[in-house]
Structure 1
């Protein structure tokens, strides 16, 4: 886990270049986390239950407002503000997984997902770049740790983006996915509870283990959304990956509060390139 320190972010806004799988591609040259580790030195990540699940814009005295998304026809700016109880912009944050704030922009049918790392400007507005590619309803979810707090806060809202809307689809129920280079596969489904585990195998399409690079200070980033309720879940890798017959196996700490299907977006780095794949897990109620 990255060294936690108090950070004040008040520099002039800088726009981040993002592709379909944000935080890869054009961002790679300035990504300090592009280190190939053997084995990856994952530390114990934060396992504190967040305040909020991304379904509300105001939680624990913090509010996400002035949210704007670009149109569907071309890449553009996503912007928003985080304010405290006084109404003033929040400026002090603690980094988690090397960033002061993680922003997730996901189409409401969970068919498209963007992971964005915006920059905080001097006026208290967060700004970043995103390419949506289609209109319709998009969720905007911000995850951060206020410097004065002791756990993450997750805020979210839903915006309708003008432009051509694809036919609504139900999330694919597949437990594995591959992009021709990387395959990810669920080895279990997960269960409710504050100290759960979820294992995922990462391999070549023919199930050979892969050497994973570091992304955001860890061997993988996993973000989930409850199908049908818009609830958000961010899980953290535990320990180093293990080479098994199923491939390179990653274990994640989970804190699912409700059973049901969750669409999980897996991001891993292989040979310097970031790969993003999605699988669906059916979380069961703990006995």
Structure 2
């Protein structure tokens, strides 16, 4: 039984909570001083990792594979191996899923958020078609069960290359034609206790009725453009409809200033949008 969880976490690698992390080497450090409950009632550690390293918290992503050719349907697959040499097969649901997978092109122009399935041998896989060739990062965010009542929350990543030529086919939906836009209504600041306000507008700049996606009114995945480090954010509370749009508020802990590209996923009128928005954290 793994014992890196809340009760006896003694190996923890440089960590980030709901924000963009440092690029410090993955050397052992003291265990996080606090934890929180998962939706299943288990105690889980704070998030360890920022999506730029293959190994965090004793967990390593390996055997990463992507479709060989752009524009051709294929599969993404990988395994998570623990430091004891065993492939991990026991995970705790977090944000309604046992694992969240982000596939992002090196230049951040292609982004996919997937929920793969786990085979008996510990291999995660999902169907995937990528529109552009190039180098991609495959980022897994998960809570691995450490013991009967706790889990280790980690984010690890691998890389793979997709060949071929750019696909002329657009994505399945053209969000811009649907008239839904997102924007930040205030500057973003680094620090341990920040706040981010996102305004969602429909046609004519009017407020919209937001549905939920994976148990939240929005999922925001941000990438610092200089390093590719990841910030995964969820709203603090429900949406507020105001005259100039629908507002969502997020708690932030950005540890690094710089330019970011955020992919905002939200549901309007039953349709799931994935909308990019750029911002600078000062």
TM-score normalised by length of structure 2:
0.78
Matched, 1:3 2:36: no
How big is the shift at 1:261? 0.8
Structural mapping, 1:97-136, within 5 Å? 97-136=95-134
The CA deviation string for residues 38-96 of structure 1, in whole angstroms up to 9 with x for no partner, is xxxxxxxx9x7521111100111000000000021312110000111112111222211
2:34 corresponds to: none
Residue of structure 1 equivalent to 2:59: 62
In 2, Cα distance between equivalents of 1:186 and 1:220? 14
Say if 1:182 and 1:203, in contact at 8 Å, map to a contact too: yes
User: Structure 2 stretches of 5 or more lacking a match?
Assistant: 1-36, 168-174
Q: Work out the number of aligned pairs and report it.
A: 234
Change (3 A) 1:130 1:5: farther
Matches within 5 A, 1:88-99: 88-99=86-97
SS in 2 for 1:152: strand
Q: Specify whether residues 49 and 207 from structure 1 end up closer, same or farther in structure 2 by C-alpha distance, changes over 3 A only.
A: farther
User: C-alpha deviations, 1:226-263, integer Å up to 9, x for none?
Assistant: 10211111012111111123311001121211000110
Measure the CA separation in 2 of the matches of 1:179 and 1:242: 24
Greater RCO between the two (CA within 8 Å, min separation 6)? 1
Is the contact made by 1:5 and 1:94 (CA closer than 8 Å) also made in structure 2?
no
Q: Does 1:158 align with 2:159?
A: yes
- The 5 Å alignment of 1:159-238 reads 159-164=160-165, 178-238=176-236
**C-alpha distance in 2, partners of 1:151/1:209?**
39
Counterparts of 2:234 and 2:74, CA distance in 1: 30
Residue aligned with 1:206, SS: helix
Q: Give the Cα–Cα distance (whole angstroms) in 1 for the partners of residues 203 and 112 of structure 2.
A: 24
Kindly state the Cα deviation for residue 126 of structure 1 after the two structures are TM-superposed. Answer: 0.3
Q: Aligned-pair distance for 1:5? A: 4.8
Distance 2:274 2:80 in 1: 28
Note the residue ranges of structure 1 that are not aligned, 5 or more in a row: 7-45, 167-176
Cα distance in 2 for residues equivalent to 1:208 and 1:55: 38
Instruction: Report if aligned partners of 2:98, 2:143 keep a CA contact under 8 Å in 1.
Output: yes
Residue 52 of structure 1 is matched in structure 2 by 49
Contact map agreement 1:55 1:155 (CA 8 A) in 2:
yes
CA RMSD of aligned residues (A): 2.0
- 1:101 and 1:162 map into 2 onto residues whose CA distance is 27
Equivalent residues of 1:178, 1:184 under 8 A apart: no
Q: SS in structure 1 opposite 2:260? A: strand
Contact 2:207 2:241 in 1 (8 A): yes
1:250-269, aligned counterparts within 5 Å? 250-269=248-267
Aligned 8 A contact 2:188 2:196 in 1: yes
Q: Secondary structure at the match of 1:93?
A: coil
Contact kept? 1:2, 1:98, Cα under 8 Å: no
